[in-house]
Amino acid sequence: MSIRPLPNIIITGTPGCGKTSHAEIISNELDGFKHINITDFAKDNDAYDGFDKERNSHIVDEDKLLDALEPILEKGGILIDWHACDMFPERLIDLVVVLRTENGTLYERLEKRNYSQSKIDENLDCEIMEVILQEAKESYAEEIVVELESNNTDDIDSNSQRIKSWIDSWKVNNPEGASNELSM
């Protein structure tokens, strides 16, 4: 049986909600944790299946991505940073953090990134309709999905502290680590 000594955490939410900021803080402050930005990981592992001109973004080949990512997840201590979460195997995920941002703040952040108006509107609609939160709730056990506000640096600091406390509790509750196998 394969055991991971540290939990794997997905930090997800619409673009501009602070996923990377959260993951970087936690990975820099905790030994054994690695931040994987899925956009960069897909590029580094040639896990693209074309380009969406309308959205000005690459299309990720989920099979290729998971083939490269699963062996890393099996070792544990991974902070996945991406705007989607439903593709990652539930057996390898211990916590899903869905970051939520107030629409005005999100608009300003996306505008600063020079997103097109249609891309800003699409992401705001996604946030308003709670698309990512619903995806998380449908894909993972309810008890591992946590929704956190991410509107300012105080929120980021507080959320990072909360996630680090959760990791401490996970270590206490899983002194031997967690199985990478499906539970029956």
CB atoms within 10 A of CB 154: 8
**11 pLDDT exceeds 90?**
yes
* Residue showing tokens 């930090």: 11
Instruction: List pLDDT tens digits, range 45-66.
Output: 999 988 878 777 788 899 999 9
Question: Token pair for residue 99?
Answer: 């970051």
Residue 147 dihedral angles phi and psi, to the nearest 5°: -105, 125
Instruction: Judge whether residue 184 has pLDDT over 70.
Output: no
pTM value is 0.94
Is the pLDDT at 183 greater than 70? The verdict is no
Binding residues: 16, 18-21, 113
The type of residue at 98 is V
Asked if residue 173 has pLDDT above 80, the reply is yes
* pLDDT at residue number 1: 66
Q: What is the DSSP letter of 183?
A: P
- Look at residue 108 and tell me whether its pLDDT is greater than 70: yes
Cβ pair 8, 74 in contact under 8 A: no
Which residues are annotated as part of the binding site for ATP?
A: 16, 18-21, 113
Domain locations in the chain as residue ranges: 8-166
Strands (E), 130-183: 145-149, 178-179
Domain 8-166 has CATH 3.30.365.10: no
Exposure string over 26-44, b if 16+ CB within 10 A, otherwise e: bbeebeebebbbbbebbee
Q: Which tokens go with 108?
A: 């300003």
